[in-house]
Every structure is written in structure tokens, then in C-alpha cells.
Chain A
Amino acid sequence: MNLHEYQGKELLSKYGVAIQRGKLAHTIEEAVKAFEEIQKETGTEFGVVKAQIHAGGRGKGGGVKLAKNMSELKEYSGNILGMMLKTPQTPGGVDGPGKLVKKVLIAEDSYAPDFEKNKEYYVSILMDREKKQNVIIYSTKGGMNIEEVAEETPHLVHKEYVDPELGLLPFQARNVAFNLGLSGKAFKEMNAFISNLYKAFIDMDASLFEINPCLHTGDDRIVAVDCKVSIDDNALFRHPDIEAMRDTDEEDPTEVEAKSYGLNYVNLDGNVGCMVNGAGLAMATMDIIKLSGGSPANFLDVGGTADATRVEQAFRIILKDPNVKAILVNIFGGIVRCDRVAQGIVDAYKNVGNIPVPIIVRLQGTNADLGKKLIDESGLQVHSAIQLQEAADIIKRILG
């Protein structure tokens, strides 16, 4: 689960991580009030208006602006609130429709007063799947895309692997500060910054922290100017406070609805919908749709209980997408018996009413023959198959 910048900062500051301070605003009026308050609290002269959406690259898309006075702040807040912000990470990328901005963070100008003296670093924490350990990745090349930095100047990307049993050791936090070339006050600040950040990572069951830029100010403070925070979905059961921060505006509405039914659904831009049991088989089914000349309209894992109710919900979800020209149901019955699934499909078909696109049902595994018989004798406009290749051939025929 991803958090907004303002949510991530709020959580980090509870752990003593120094952040760029700011206040959230949904309207120009709130933005004005937020700016007045943040000026009073921090003494900042300028204010930064930052669009709050779940995507990186907001600055380049015009979603982050430095306001030098109240009239600029009103103007920028007005421009950004309600805009369709396009970044490489919004739906469809920079050429797509963009993402509606519903709120902005009004933040202090952390770069003042000595703009020239500021340095931007990069810090992230994540779990390294190969080493099965958490790793702190950091670089003096902040404010840039870290993948490009790693590509062009790999010697400037440093890593500290953390022992799972001992946790982050004091010398490792010092290593970060030394390798970033710090001394004196900045060294101490970075030391504390890293220790607190790692503590927050563990306590929050995060899967990713990315602080970019991590600012070294002219007066030797270390401040998180931006943050990307992702939390492990599997661990949300022990973080109801974080779960409550979920912003469903940032998610595809159909995906949110599917989730409420216990269906694992991802919307894609193809023309053949699919309904499958199991995530691996679902991905493989998408692949075979592509190989048959179609393109998958979605990923949908119905899970272990493919009964009539779930099948019906799945059909309704898939049919919300107007691009769907055919639906492939691919169920490998193990514990789930194919005749039960077939009956579920027949019932769901009748309940949904008119399904305007051809349906291909491939049932294999326990009682597959009985399942096929049920489908074939139902009188429905459904193509049935037992082998995966047969299903692929039917798709080819229908689309061709």
C-alpha cells in the first residue's frame, strides 16, 4: 500500500526523522491558511505547493511550484488543485489522461536562505530479495533518478546491508554519514536521521522508503524534502492506523470494488477479459491471450472458491470495461470441482442477464468432463474447452 508524501512525512516525523514541514489543503482558502500557519511556525518566507498524488515526477509535470508570496501561492494552488497531472508514473504516462489532483501540501522552503550551499542526497530502504536482508541505499547524487545514477556512476551508489537479528548497527549509520562526506553537525544529524529512519521502516512494516531528495542544508541540517513510503500489505493487520490512511481515490475504482468482493483484479488496456483461479495461472492465461492475437483486458484471480456468487461478481467486474470483446474463463479444478464451477458459470450467466460478448470456458482438473457437459447442455452461447491450447484456438477464431 502506497502513502501520500504528507502521510509518509507525518509518520516519519513521529520517529524523529527531520522532515520539510507542511500542511495539507484541499482548497485555495485552506492553502492560504496553511501558508500563514507554516510561515508562523517555521519562519519560512516562501512556500512550496506540492500536488499530492501517488506518482513520482510531479515536479516536471508542473505539480510542484515555489511561491514567493501569497499571491503566487494562491495562483499556484489554484492551478494545481483540480489539474490533471501527467507524469511518467500516472496512468498512460505523460501522454495519458493524467491524475486528478484533489489536495496539495503547502510546505516550508527548506532550501532557504543559502540556496547555493544546499546539497541533495538520496536515501532509500528496502528488502533485498536475493540477500533476504534489508538494505539502505544512498548516494550523494540526490534529486535524480537513482536508476540512472546507478547506470552512469555506480561508484556513487552505496549500500549498507542490515543483519536481520542484530538490526542496524551504529557503525553502519556512521558509514552512511562518512560515505556522504559529512563531518561535524551534519555528520551527527545524518547519523540520527538514518537510525530513526531505519527504526521507522521496521516499526511500520514498510516495503520501501525513498527519501529523494534528502537535503543537507546550508546550516548543516539533514531534512527529508520528499518521501515515498510503501507498506507491506501483508502486515497491515497490525497497523490499523496506517490502513486507515488508504486513499481509494488513488486506486482504480473497479479494482477497489473487486477487492471488496475478495477478487484480485488489475485493470489493463486489452480486449480479452479473463477469470482464472490462481495468480500464476492468471498471468499465464494473459500470456496465452496475447499469443492468440488478443491482448489481456485484465488480471483476475478468483481464488480458491469459484462459486456462483464469486463468478457472477467477476463477470460484472470484467464487463465494466467497454473494451472487452471476449471473456476467457480458465479454471484448473483441484479442490474446487469443475462441475461446481460450471454450475456457477451457468447460474451467474443467467443472473447477469445479457452478456454481450462471447465467453470461452476452459475447465480442467477434478470432474472436468462433467463441467464441460454442463456447459455444453446449458444452451448458453458459451464455447467450452478442456485443453489450454483448445481455448487459445477458440480465441484466435473469435478475434480473427
Chain B
Amino acid sequence: MSVLVNKNSKIIVQGFTGNEGTFHAEQMIEYGTNIVGGVTPGKGGQTHLGKPVYNSVKEAVIKAGADTSILFVPPKFAPDAIMEAAEAGIKVIICITEGIPVQDMVKVKAYIDKFDTRLIGPNCPGVITPDEAKVGIMPGFVFKKGKIGLVSKSGTLTYEAADQLVRAGLGISTAIGIGGDPIVGTPTKEAVELLMNDPETEGIVMIGEIGGNYEAKAAEYIKSTGNKKPVVGFIAGQTAPKGRTMGHAGAIVGGADDTAEAKMRIMAEHGIHVVQSPADIGETMRKVLMDMK
């Protein structure tokens, strides 16, 4: 078991023949990920990296049985590509693209909600289930197989946390990079929920950032499960200046829960093991698991 992606996932790459798509598709194939082909409109029928290229996602679903897609499509075209994947019947859409206009994502989110699909990202490092499938841009060797689920808004900070967990003698069940944009397909709470219900995940690391209320919502959910599995949490941006990313009127909707301080307080109140230092993530998880035994 694992969540979102595994060795049986049939994965296609949208934006397959572009520079980014080619580079990362090669890395994923080398890792052993089950890439069944790619989509580049107008290049259907060709072969790229030894895999078939399709004109549309629909074609890839019909001919290759694709159920998962990873997108390396420029911001201008990515919204359309996400919606195409949802309509074609893809179950897990992972969008790496950074820089999609937020109003485009408002429309994308409303559209894909009508389909039985899950979007991860955009602006994310992807998802990895070690030894089974790397569907993202992360360095695969850092993520050793284990029983800790990892949810994070950030790329390199996810690698940092995974590295610490491995050094602490633990490993990763599935790591989910949810993305750092204002609108993402799968907020922290939903990603945590997947791991909470995964029999092979024994503990969860949740890494957030300033802005929005995803972590607070996740904290409420975690408490509602009776803190069934231990969760270690960190929020990046304790020293970030106020007002640099948040609009003035934004605070009225987000409430006072936007700061790292407030989020950490809420998380601690809901039974999450909050670390002040990003260097303490792995060690804290090890101790928490030891104390339970």
C-alpha cells in the first residue's frame, strides 16, 4: 500500500517532448516509474524516450490505459492541460508548473471538481512512493522506503525533511508535495487524510508555510481522528516580514491564522508535535515513535 502513486500506476507525461518534460521523464523512467507514454498535441504517433507520444490525453487513456498524469506544461497552457486530463478520466493529475495565474486556477478548480479526479499542485515537486514510483522532480535517492508519510508545500524543504527522516533511521511511505500556490488541488488536510488512512503509514510529517489556513484545517482534522497517528509539524517563515505577500484586505478572510506563530500554536493545541527548528524534524519523529513503544 501507499497513496496516490505506486508501481501499478499508469503514468503519462503532458508536455512530454519539451525540455523539462524530457529531462524529468528520463529521470522518472530511470527510477523505475511506470511511464506508459506522453502527450504533446501535434506530435502524436511519434516515439520519445522509447515511449509512445499521443495527441490528446483521451487517446493516452484509451490506448495506454493511463490513470495518472504529470504536467510539465508552461503556465500559459497548463490550465487547459489540467482540465483536459480531468475530462479524459485521469484519476491523479500532478502539476509541476510554477506561475499559473490565480484566476485561471479558480476556473480550473471549479471545472475539475465535476470529475472523479485529484489534482496535486500546481507549483509542486510532485509525489513519490519510494521503490515504486517517482512522479515528480525530487531527487529519488533521498527518499528511502519506510513508514512515514510526508506532506509539504515546499520542494527542497521536503527533500530536507526526507533526508532527516532517513538519517533518523526512518523512511518514507509516500511524500506529497502539495504546492505553494494560493490555490492548490489538494490542500494539506486532504493529503494528511490520505496518509492517515494508509495502513502502511505510521507517522506523518506536515510542513507548512505562512499564508492561508491549510495547516489549521489539517490540525482540526488530525484532532478529530483522535490523533490516531503521530504528526510532527513545522511552519517555515517564523521570521518572514508581514505584509510582503499578503494583501491588506486578505487578512480579513484569512483571519489571524496566517502567521507562522499562530499556525504553530494552533497545531500544538491540536496535538501535533511542533518543532521550532527545521533541523529537528527527523529526530523529533524518531523520539515520538520511540515514546509510543
What's the nearest-Cβ distance from chain A to residue B259, in Å? 12
> Which label, helix, strand, loop or mixed, suits the secondary structure of the A interface?
mixed
A343 sits at the interface (CB 8 A): no
Which of B2-10, B29-37, B63-71, B231-239 lies at the interface? B231-239
Please name all residues of chain B whose beta carbon is closer than 8 Å to the beta carbon of A163 when the two chains form the complex.
Answer: 110
**B110 touches which one: A147, A164, A276 (CB < 8 A)?**
A164
A383 sits at the interface (CB 8 A): no
B49 sits at the interface (CB 8 A): no
Please name all residues of chain B whose beta carbon is closer than 8 Å to the beta carbon of A288 when the two chains form the complex.
Answer: 277-279
B169 sits at the interface (CB 8 A): no
Please name all residues of chain A whose beta carbon is closer than 8 Å to the beta carbon of B88 when the two chains form the complex.
Answer: none
The digit string for B272-290, where 1 denotes a CB below 8 A from any CB of A, is 0000111100000000000
Which of B135-143, B194-202, B222-230 lies at the interface? B135-143
A335 sits at the interface (CB 8 A): yes
Q: A259–B163 Cα gap in the complex (Å)?
A: 31
A387's closest neighbor in chain B, by CB? B279
Whether B251 and A147, one on each chain, are in contact in the complex, defined by CB atoms closer than 8 angstroms, is yes
B18 sits at the interface (CB 8 A): no
Whether A126 and B234, one on each chain, are in contact in the complex, defined by CB atoms closer than 8 angstroms, is no
In B123-148, the 8 Å CB interface with A consists of: 137-139, 141-142
Whether B180 and A280, one on each chain, are in contact in the complex, defined by CB atoms closer than 8 angstroms, is yes
Please name all residues of chain A whose beta carbon is closer than 8 Å to the beta carbon of B247 when the two chains form the complex.
Answer: 126, 207-208, 210, 230
A299 sits at the interface (CB 8 A): yes
What's the nearest-Cβ distance from chain B to residue A200, in Å? 13
The digit string for A112-129, where 1 denotes a CB below 8 A from any CB of B, is 000000000000101111
What's the nearest-Cβ distance from chain B to residue A137, in Å? 6
A201's closest neighbor in chain B, by CB? B103
The digit string for A133-152, where 1 denotes a CB below 8 A from any CB of B, is 11101000000001100100
> Given A134-B106, A146-B249, is A266 in contact with B160 using a C-beta cutoff of 8 Å?
no
**A126 touches which one: B75, B154, B250 (CB < 8 A)?**
B250
**A287 touches which one: B104, B253, B277 (CB < 8 A)?**
B277
A169 sits at the interface (CB 8 A): no
B51 sits at the interface (CB 8 A): no
What's the nearest-Cβ distance from chain B to residue A25, in Å? 26
A332 sits at the interface (CB 8 A): yes
What's the nearest-Cβ distance from chain B to residue A12, in Å? 16
Please name all residues of chain A whose beta carbon is closer than 8 Å to the beta carbon of B158 when the two chains form the complex.
Answer: 280
Whether A157 and B239, one on each chain, are in contact in the complex, defined by CB atoms closer than 8 angstroms, is no
Q: A268–B159 Cα gap in the complex (Å)?
A: 26
A237 sits at the interface (CB 8 A): yes
Whether B277 and A291, one on each chain, are in contact in the complex, defined by CB atoms closer than 8 angstroms, is yes
The digit string for B161-191, where 1 denotes a CB below 8 A from any CB of A, is 0011000000000000000101100000000
Q: A389–B280 Cα gap in the complex (Å)?
A: 8
Q: A266–B234 Cα gap in the complex (Å)?
A: 22
Which of B39-47, B52-60, B208-216 lies at the interface? B208-216
A390's closest neighbor in chain B, by CB? B279
Q: A185–B225 Cα gap in the complex (Å)?
A: 55
> Given A210-B248, A392-B279, is A281 in contact with B157 using a C-beta cutoff of 8 Å?
yes
Q: A289–B277 Cα gap in the complex (Å)?
A: 10
Q: A266–B164 Cα gap in the complex (Å)?
A: 28
Whether B238 and A268, one on each chain, are in contact in the complex, defined by CB atoms closer than 8 angstroms, is no
Please name all residues of chain A whose beta carbon is closer than 8 Å to the beta carbon of B106 when the two chains form the complex.
Answer: 127, 132-134, 164
Whether B160 and A283, one on each chain, are in contact in the complex, defined by CB atoms closer than 8 angstroms, is no
Whether B248 and A277, one on each chain, are in contact in the complex, defined by CB atoms closer than 8 angstroms, is no
**B160 touches which one: A210, A296, A332, A335 (CB < 8 A)?**
A332
Please name all residues of chain A whose beta carbon is closer than 8 Å to the beta carbon of B239 when the two chains form the complex.
Answer: 268, 270, 283, 286-287, 289-290, 295-296
Whether A202 and B156, one on each chain, are in contact in the complex, defined by CB atoms closer than 8 angstroms, is no
Count of interface residues, chain A, beta-carbon cutoff 8 Å: 64
Q: A278–B27 Cα gap in the complex (Å)?
A: 20
Q: A278–B211 Cα gap in the complex (Å)?
A: 17
**A366 touches which one: B139, B210, B252, B254 (CB < 8 A)?**
B139
The digit string for A246-290, where 1 denotes a CB below 8 A from any CB of B, is 000000000000000000001010100000111111011111111
The digit string for B82-120, where 1 denotes a CB below 8 A from any CB of A, is 000000000000000001111111110111000000000
Please name all residues of chain B whose beta carbon is closer than 8 Å to the beta carbon of A289 when the two chains form the complex.
Answer: 239
A172 sits at the interface (CB 8 A): no
The digit string for A27-60, where 1 denotes a CB below 8 A from any CB of B, is 0000000000000000000000000000010000
Whether B137 and A334, one on each chain, are in contact in the complex, defined by CB atoms closer than 8 angstroms, is yes
Q: A397–B2 Cα gap in the complex (Å)?
A: 43
Whether A130 and B212, one on each chain, are in contact in the complex, defined by CB atoms closer than 8 angstroms, is yes
Q: A290–B277 Cα gap in the complex (Å)?
A: 10
Whether A205 and B103, one on each chain, are in contact in the complex, defined by CB atoms closer than 8 angstroms, is yes
> Given A284-B157, A287-B236, is A234 in contact with B75 using a C-beta cutoff of 8 Å?
yes
Whether B253 and A130, one on each chain, are in contact in the complex, defined by CB atoms closer than 8 angstroms, is yes
B50 sits at the interface (CB 8 A): no
B155 sits at the interface (CB 8 A): yes
Whether A335 and B279, one on each chain, are in contact in the complex, defined by CB atoms closer than 8 angstroms, is no
Please name all residues of chain A whose beta carbon is closer than 8 Å to the beta carbon of B99 when the two chains form the complex.
Answer: 234
What's the nearest-Cβ distance from chain A to residue B101, in Å? 4
A372 sits at the interface (CB 8 A): no
The digit string for A201-235, where 1 denotes a CB below 8 A from any CB of B, is 01001011010000000000000000010101011
Whether A165 and B107, one on each chain, are in contact in the complex, defined by CB atoms closer than 8 angstroms, is yes
8 shortest interchain CB distances as A-B pairs:
A280-B154, A278-B156, A235-B101, A280-B157, A334-B139, A284-B278, A283-B236, A164-B110
Besides A126-B247, A126-B253, A291-B276, 5 new A-B residue pairs in contact (Cβ under 8 A), listed by A number: A130-B217, A130-B253, A164-B110, A365-B159, A389-B279
Return 30 A-B CB contacts under 8 Å, by A number.
A124-B249, A129-B212, A130-B213, A132-B183, A135-B253, A163-B110, A164-B107, A205-B101, A228-B248, A235-B102, A266-B241, A268-B239, A278-B155, A280-B152, A281-B156, A281-B157, A283-B237, A284-B160, A284-B278, A286-B237, A287-B260, A288-B278, A290-B238, A291-B277, A334-B155, A364-B163, A365-B163, A366-B141, A388-B164, A388-B278
